[in-house]
Amino acid sequence: MNSLVSVIIPVYNRSVELVRAVRSVVSQSYTNLEILIIDDGSDKPVRDIVSCFDDSRIIILENKKNMGVSFSRNVGINYSKGDYIALLDSDDEWFSDKIARQLDYFISHPVRIVHTEEIWVRNGVRVNQGKRHKKEAGDIFIRSLDLCLISPSSVIMHRSIFDEFGFFREDLPVCEDYDLWLRITAQEKVGFIEEPLIYKYGGHDDQLSRKFHSMDKYRVLSMIGVLKSSILNDEKRSALIATIQGKCSILINGATKREKFDEVDFYLDLLNEVNGFSGI
């Protein structure tokens, strides 16, 4: 296989981490790449940061102002020309044979999306993943309801996936990857390579997951969107409704204890909407 792979790297103010990420891409054993770096309004222009790389495959796209990771990824995907799309967060790093291994996987498996195992590093220290984070191949939709099982930096997809399932939701400030994976896994089986092929770094202050009080709010909004799309079989639909109901109940209890009654009303309205789908 010698297909063009488009690598999408959104970045906002991560100069040191970006150099590490880009170095892991230009060092790939598979070389038919276009490397799209989307500068999301960084204080220091990204083109200055990556000028150390003399590589014609690197293309810099610049947002006029900070628009968020979903907007930036979508800009890159729409601009890209590759048959396959690979995502890389600007603070993560690939093993040198990641793309080659995933393309080989496509040859022998009838799937359009492949993710890999990963090594977690928090504040410079390697940490072990919990059992609940165990990744796998196949139909992972129901397991994906409770947590995000696919890391963006580990995934490569055929571009037809976006034609069929759409792009990242730009109205979600977080959980935009969780949302896309739900839409995809509702109908698609995924491939999985058991060996770790990425370093996933965390613990820094600018991570989006540290800026929002409740990620579950946005997971619920995502799940309701999937529920309304009518793309689910009965088993998946029932599991989705039960998960939304459970998360809404927890969010309502938490908001009640904090006397955030506007939040209580918000989640009650969502719960009533979902109960209408279940016939309650």
- 168 and 87 Cβ atoms separated by less than 8 Å: no
**What distance in Å separates the CA atoms of residue 153 and residue 99, rounded to the nearest whole number?**
11
Please give the helix or strand (H or E) that residue 108 lies within, else none: helix 98-108
Please state which architecture CATH assigns to domain 5-209. Answer: Alpha-Beta Complex (3.90)
Model pLDDT for residues 183-236, shown as the tens digit of each residue: 999 999 999 999 999 999 987 665 555 555 679 999 999 999 999 987 899 999
Q: Spell out the domain ranges in the chain.
A: 5-209, 215-278
> Which residue from 152, 164, 200 is spatially nearest to 7, judged by alpha carbons?
152
Between CA 254 and CA 248 the distance in angstroms is 10
Position 37, amino acid: I
Res. 279: pLDDT tops 70: no
The count of other CB atoms within 10 Å of the CB of residue 264 is 17
What's the average model confidence in pLDDT over 117-121?
Answer: 97
Q: In percent, how much of the chain has pLDDT > 90?
A: 88
Q: Do 229 and 237 form a contact (C-beta atoms < 8 A)?
A: no
Torsion of CA 37, 179, 209, 241, to 10 degrees: 180
**Predicted pLDDT at 89:** 98
> Distance between CA atoms of 72 and 236, rounded to whole angstroms?
31
Question: What residues are paired with 93 via a beta bridge?
Answer: 199
**Dihedrals phi, psi of 143, to nearest 5 degrees:** -65, -30
Checking if the pLDDT of 269 tops 90, the result is yes
Write down the pLDDT at residue 102.
99
pTM of the model: 0.93
In the chain, DSSP finds a helix count (H) and a strand count (E) of 10, 9
Residue carrying structure tokens 């309701």: 224
Express each pLDDT in 152-189 by its tens digit.
999 999 999 999 999 999 999 999 999 999 999 999 99
DSSP assigned state of 130? P
Q: Using 50, 70 and 90 to split pLDDT, how confident is the model at 271?
A: very high
